[in-house]
Amino acid sequence: MVLSVDIEKTLGDFHLRVRFEAEREIMALLGPSGCGKSMTLKCIAGIQRPDRGRIVLGERVLFDSEAGINLPPQKRHVGYLFQQYALFPNMTVEQNILAGARGGTRQERRATVAEMVRTFRLEGLEKLRPSQLSGGQQQRVALARILAGQPELLLLDEPFSALDEHLKWQLELELSDTLKAFPGGVLFVSHSRDEVYRLCDTVCVLTEGKSDPKETIKELFAAPATLGAALISGCKNISPAEVRPEGLFCPDWGVTLRTAQPVSDRTRYAGIRAHYFTLEGEVNSIPCRVSRVIDNVFSTVVMLSTPGPGLLRLELDKDRWAALGEPRELTLYIAPEDVMPLTE
C-alpha cells in the first residue's frame, strides 16, 4: 500500500496545498485547528473534491483532475472515523456494524458482524442504540463498523476529541492495538503532539493549509525544520534569526547563539525548548532577569527578560527551582545542538 496525495483546494480565502506519500505506516497529519487537516482527509475519502491534483491508493487512482477521475466515496474503500463517530442514531449497535459490512451473502455479512462484536468487546450491547452507549463504546462501535468493510486505508479524524480527559488514556491504548493490527495504512489527524508522539510512526505538519515534507516522529521533536513544526511540537521560545558567521543572531533575545544544526539561507527563526536550558555551561550564555514565576502542576515556569525586547520561557522541576532560592538574575546556557534553526 502506498498512498500518494498531491492536491490543491481553495475555499474562500483558505488555500489548501497538501503533498505527501505514505507507506504502510501510521502517519500523523499534525497542525493547529483550522489548518486543513480534516479537509485533507475528506478529499482522500471523496467527501470533498479537490480543485486540482491526484490521489492514488496502491494501484488505484482515486482522484485525478487532469484525467477527470473522481471515484465516489463508495468505491474508494477508505475507512473514515469521524470526530463524533457519526453512528446512525436510529440503528442498534448491530445494525450500525452491519451497515459497514460489504459484499458477500447475507450470512457472511452476519458472520462479519458477530466477529466484529467479539473483536471490539461489544457483547451484550448489540441491541442498544448509540445514545445509550458511553463515548468509549461509541468509538469501538464506529471502528467495528469501519473495519467490517475491510478498507484499504484508515482515516482517523481527532478520535479522542469527543471524550472526557480521564477516558482518553484507556482508549488510546486500545486504539493503538487496533491500529497495529490493521493491515493497511493509517492517517491520523490530530492537534495534540502527545497523541501523535505515542501513536504514530511518521508525521506531516500542516500550517495554514500547507504541508511540510514528511518526517519521522523522532525527527520532528529532535529537530523540527519549520516554524510551524516547531510550534506544533511544543517549542515555546522562538525568535526571528539572522545567519551570521559567528552564529544565529536572535534580535528578540539580543544574543548570537552557536548552533550544531545545519543552517541555510532559508533559515528565518531560531527555536529553543523551555526545558532544554541549563544553568551552567560554557557557550551560548544569556544573561536574564526573572520577570515572572508561574507554578504549574508538576513544574515551575519562569519568564525571563533578556538583553533583547523578548522574553524567554524556562521550565524546570519544582524542587530545582526551589533550590535556587528566588534569584533576581539568572544566566541561562543552551547547548549548540539544542538551538534549532527554522525555516518559514
By CB under 8 A, which span of 69-77, 237-245, 291-299, 330-338 interacts with another protein?
Answer: 69-77
Position 46 contacts another protein (CB under 8 A): yes
By CB under 8 A, which span of 23-31, 74-82, 180-188, 232-240 interacts with another protein?
Answer: 74-82
Cβ(51)–Cβ(65) below 8 Å: yes
Complex with another protein: residue 128 or 330, whichever CB lies closer: 128
Position 271 contacts another protein (CB under 8 A): no
**Total Cβ atoms within 10 A of residue 342:** 27
Residue 333 burial (10 A CB sphere; 0-12, 13-18, 19+): middle
Report the nearest approach of another protein to the CB of residue 201 (Å).
Answer: 24
Position 132 contacts another protein (CB under 8 A): yes
Complex with another protein: residue 75 or 198, whichever CB lies closer: 75
CA separation for the pair 83, 160 (Å, rounded): 8
The grid coordinates of residue 186 equal 493509517
Amino acid in position 292: R
Closest CA to 83 of 41, 125, 128: 41
Report the nearest approach of another protein to the CB of residue 142 (Å).
Answer: 8
Chosen residue from 22, 45, 163, 339 binding another protein by CB under 8 A: 45
CA separation for the pair 89, 67 (Å, rounded): 39
Report the nearest approach of another protein to the CB of residue 73 (Å).
Answer: 4
Complex with another protein: residue 78 or 189, whichever CB lies closer: 78
Complex with another protein: residue 44 or 314, whichever CB lies closer: 44
Q: Could you identify the residue written with the cell 533578556? A: 306
Map residue 137 onto helix, strand or coil. Answer: helix
Closest CA to 159 of 146, 142, 183: 142
DSSP 226: B
By CB under 8 A, which span of 42-50, 112-120, 245-253, 294-302 interacts with another protein?
Answer: 42-50
Q: For residues 96-115, which are near another protein according to CB under 8 A?
A: 99-100, 102
Q: What is the per-residue binding string for another protein in 140-169, x denoting contact by CB under 8 A?
A: -----xx--x--------------------
Chosen residue from 13, 33, 59, 90 binding another protein by CB under 8 A: 90
Cβ(236)–Cβ(313) below 8 Å: yes
Report the nearest approach of another protein to the CB of residue 164 (Å).
Answer: 15
Position 184 contacts another protein (CB under 8 A): no
Complex with another protein: residue 54 or 109, whichever CB lies closer: 109
Complex with another protein: residue 35 or 87, whichever CB lies closer: 87
Strand 210-211 and strand 202-207: pairing? antiparallel
Complex with another protein: residue 109 or 193, whichever CB lies closer: 109
Chosen residue from 73, 184, 240, 308 binding another protein by CB under 8 A: 73
Q: Where are the alpha helices (DSSP H) in the chain?
A: 37-45, 93-100, 106-119, 135-147, 165-181, 193-199, 217-222, 227-232, 318-324
Report the nearest approach of another protein to the CB of residue 54 (Å).
Answer: 20
Report the nearest approach of another protein to the CB of residue 183 (Å).
Answer: 18
Distance of CA 42 to the CA centre of its chain: 16
Residue 326 burial (10 A CB sphere; 0-12, 13-18, 19+): exposed
DSSP string, 14-25: EEEEEEEEE-SS
Cβ(26)–Cβ(188) below 8 Å: yes
Position 47 contacts another protein (CB under 8 A): yes
Name the percent of the chain in helix, strand, coil, to the closest 5.
Answer: 30, 35, 40
Contact residues: another protein, CB under 8 A: 42, 45-47, 72-80, 82, 84, 86-91, 99-100, 102, 131-132, 145-146, 149
